[in-house]
């Protein structure tokens, strides 16, 4: 499913709000959304929330052979996934241009900036090194994916612990966490990305754009910096021309925001370290507030059971008496039984269209004066005297009509003229035809 484009009315509304220095979430132009960090039960697992944008980070390790040109360095691998769970605009099993651009930016920000000492990941030079894999999964998309992913990656790397290893000759022993405490990674600095959105060809600037603001922006500038004000990487996209003063202003804002986010990350890591050392409860389940429906623990609500019988009697005395109920059915028409007040039965009554067809059939001169029809009816009547029952199917709906033979009374036949016999036969056929229609 492709991303639904904004209408012209929505675009004009967003651009006009930006010109008036107003944002939909109430922030100012240079305000950053709240950052929240929570850790899982295992080392190297974390969830970072930037406003409503949420990214899950997981770090894993494996002993592999090193690269031929770097025999004494470990391997770092980053993988960001954009699933339809985060937004319907992302298609499963397909790498879009946005995903490729984000993965390359993460590699330049974290791996090329040498934030992790890869030489400390070497176990045996030229034979075995640690491969550190960082998997980032976007859980919810509300804008500024790259900032949230960079924070989640560096937090997961700082929180991760690899197994301890010992080498004796050619034998390599990997110890479990029960045998030896895991070893943290050697991290030199923490680079963090800060995004800036430009509107009206660089006239207006917003920090940390939301998802709707990203749809109407003209260009994006991403600066990765650590708390020592060292720029790790910088990237501009969108085809806008920026002045030197604009880039310098963005770099100053980035320095302030990076210091704030770094302090928040260090406090979160320190709190998690204290909780694990003291043996307290930790993990995603403990970070859920108790006020929500998804809480695992609920406080017991006190119930006062005193004077319950007296209160029940007072309620019964104050209540209105029940209404009279008719248990017997009310018969409106013969042959029907209806409970309650319903509508009278209208079965057996013909509609106006059916009545008109019946009258037209009786007054049709062609059907009455057709000699062939008269001869067929006479033959049918003569057969009814011999057989017991005869099934007629004159209509298109295959209606079944059963005629019972009538008892013929013995009478003396008087000589009559042929004209009188024909008139009596016509009268009898008319009566029988009326009976069929009524049936």
3-state SS track over 360-395: HHHCCHHHHHCHHHHHHHHHHHHHHHHCCCCEECCC
CA distance 229 to 233: 12
Token pair for residue 140?
């919810």
- Domain map (residue ranges) of the chain: 31-276
Token pair for residue 78?
């980053």
CA distance 96 to 308: 66
Token pair for residue 267?
């406090």
Instruction: Map tokens 């929570």 to a residue.
Output: 38
Helices (H) and strands (E) in the chain, counts: 11, 16
Please answer whether residues 167 and 191 qualify as being in contact, where contact means their C-beta atoms are separated by less than 8 angstroms. Answer: no
pLDDT band at 45 (very low <50, low <70, confident <90, very high): very high
**Tens digits of residue pLDDT in 341-369:** 555 555 555 555 555 555 555 555 444 44
Q: What is the pTM of this model?
A: 0.65
Provide the 3-class DSSP secondary structure of residue 318. Answer: helix
Q: What is the mean pLDDT of residues 106-115?
A: 90
CATH architecture under which domain 31-276 falls: 2-Layer Sandwich (3.30)
Bridge-partner residues for 205, per DSSP? 198
Instruction: Map tokens 């980032």 to a residue.
Output: 136
CA distance 4 to 89: 8
Determine phi and psi for 300, rounding to 5 degrees: -75, 130
Closest CA to 212 of 363, 3, 71: 3
Longest dimension (CA), the chain: 140
Q: According to the model, what pLDDT value does residue 346 have?
A: 53
CA distance 331 to 334: 7
- Tell me what percent of the residues of the chain surpass a pLDDT of 90: 36
**Tens digits of residue pLDDT in 381-439:** 444 444 444 444 444 445 555 666 655 554 444 444 555 555 565 666 655 665 555 55
């Amino acid at each position: 499913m492709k991303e639904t484009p904004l209408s012209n009315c929505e675009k004009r509304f967003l651009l006009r709000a930006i010109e008036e220095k107003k944002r939909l979430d109430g922030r100012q132009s240079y305000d950053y959304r709240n950052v929240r960090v929570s850790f899982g039960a295992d080392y190297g697992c974390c969830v970072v929330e930037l406003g409503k944008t949420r990214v899950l980070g997981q770090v894993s390790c494996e002993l592999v052979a090193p690269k031929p040109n770097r025999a004494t360095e470990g391997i770092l691998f980053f993988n960001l996934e954009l699933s339809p769970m985060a937004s319907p605009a992302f298609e499963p099993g397909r790498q879009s241009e946005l995903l490729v651009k984000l993965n390359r930016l993460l590699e330049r920000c974290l791996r090329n900036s040498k934030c992790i000492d890869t030489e400390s990941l070497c176990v045996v030079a030229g034979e075995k090194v640690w491969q550190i894999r960082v998997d980032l999964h976007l859980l919810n998309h509300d804008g500024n994916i790259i900032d949230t992913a960079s924070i989640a990656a560096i937090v997961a790397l700082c929180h991760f612990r690899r197994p301890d290893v010992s080498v004796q000759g050619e034998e390599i022993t990997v110890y479990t966490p029960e045998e030896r405490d895991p070893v943290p990674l050697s991290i030199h600095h923490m680079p963090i990305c800060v995004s800036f959105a430009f509107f009206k060809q660089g006239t207006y600037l917003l920090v940390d754009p939301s998802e709707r603001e990203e749809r109407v922006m003209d260009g994006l500038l991403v600066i990765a910096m650590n708390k020592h004000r060292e720029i790790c990487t910088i990237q501009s996209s969108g085809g806008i021309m920026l002045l030197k003063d604009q880039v310098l202003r963005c770099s100053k804002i980035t320095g302030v925001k990076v210091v704030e986010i770094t302090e928040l990350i260090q406090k979160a890591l320190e709190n998690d370290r204290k909780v694990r050392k003291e043996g307290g409860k930790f993990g995603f389940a403990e970070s859920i507030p108790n006020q929500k429906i998804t809480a695992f623990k609920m406080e017991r609500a006190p119930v006062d059971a005193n004077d319950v019988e007296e209160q029940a009697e007072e309620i019964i005395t104050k209540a209105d008496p029940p209404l009279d109920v008719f248990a017997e059915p009310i018969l409106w028409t013969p042959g029907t039984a209806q409970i309650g007040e319903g509508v009278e039965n209208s079965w057996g009554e013909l509609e106006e269209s059916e009545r008109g067809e019946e009258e037209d059939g009786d007054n049709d001169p062609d059907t009455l004066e057709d000699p062939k029809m008269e001869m067929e009816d006479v033959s049918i009547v003569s057969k009814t005297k011999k057989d017991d029952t005869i099934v007629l199917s004159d209509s298109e709906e295959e209606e079944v009509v059963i005629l019972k033979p009538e008892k013929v009374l013995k009478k003396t036949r008087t000589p009559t003229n042929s004209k009188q016999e024909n008139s009596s036969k016509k009268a009898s056929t008319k009566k029988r035809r009326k009976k069929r229609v009524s049936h």
